Amino acid sequence: MKKLKLFSLFLIILTLLAVGGNLYIRKHVSDYANPFCYSSIDSIPHNHCALVLGTSKYLSNGHRNQFYTNRINATVQLYFCNKIDYIIVSGDNRNRTYNEPITMFNDLVAAGIPGRKIILDYAGFRTLDSVVRCKEVFGQEKFTIVSQLFHNQRAIYIGRKKEIDAIAFNAESEIEPLDYKVQLREIAARTLMLFDMLTAKQPHFLGEKVFIPTE
């Protein structure tokens, strides 16, 4: 009985530490990144390039992913309000039937953006990969990240810690507050992100430089 009580106490302490640690990480990342995240198209400064972070167009149940739809809409808004000149669509390209960059490219072109203004990054397997490659491969020291606020906060944190002058435009989120699955995934992602920062994690692939016109 005594051992059971000690074990239960240990679990309670471990849980409190995990919850407290995650709350600290969440607040730390949010407080750091929020000054660089914009929700108003009028107030966000102009940047030469936007970096659109990839996600699946459809959910596992076959329904449209509103995170995806709203990122596309936000990017279109930035472009036609002359807040960006070029767009880098960065995402996973895991197989022939799943290709986030091509899907985003097609939907942006369908919305009226010229294809020559869109650059595809097929190696954006993780947020860290997308952000670092935007600088190291595509030559952008300063750019605008497009995703939902919770994701932008993490991307900005990565970029700023890597000495990248990044800002972000917050696409709308249809889930407010975020459901528990998204929250749990974001807790894990932020914890892993801090570990990546401590270990100087690099993208899976870098490769040859890609030139983006400066006009």
Entry pTM: 0.85
Structural domains in the chain? 36-198 (3.40.50.620)
> What are the Cα distances from residue 201, in Å, to 112, 157, 162, 198, 207?
37, 14, 11, 8, 16
Per residue in 26-60, pLDDT (tens digit) is 788 889 999 999 999 999 999 999 999 999 999 88
The pLDDT of residue 77: 98
* Half-sphere exposure of residue 160: CA atoms within 13 angstroms, side-chain side: 17
Give burial (CB, 10 Å; 0-12/13-18/19+) of 178: middle
The percentage of the chain sitting over the pLDDT mark of 70, rounded to a whole number, equals: 84
Q: How many CB atoms lie within 10 A of CB 209?
A: 10
- The sign of the torsion formed by the CA atoms of 68, 26, 128, 14 equals negative
Mean pLDDT of 105-112: 98
pLDDT band at 71 (very low <50, low <70, confident <90, very high): very high
Whether omega for the bond prior to residue 177 falls within 30 degrees of 0, making it cis, is yes
- What element of type H or E holds 120? strand 118-121
- What element of type H or E holds 209? none
The percentage of the chain sitting over the pLDDT mark of 90, rounded to a whole number, equals: 62
Per residue in 161-209, pLDDT (tens digit) is 999 999 999 999 765 555 667 777 777 887 888 888 888 888 988 889 9
**C-alpha–C-alpha distance, residues 69 and 108, integer Å:** 11
Asked if pLDDT for residue 16 goes beyond 50, the answer is: no
Helix intervals (H) in the chain? 2-33, 66-80, 100-110, 127-136, 149-161, 180-198
* 33-47, 108-122, 123-137, 193-207: segment of lowest average pLDDT: 193-207
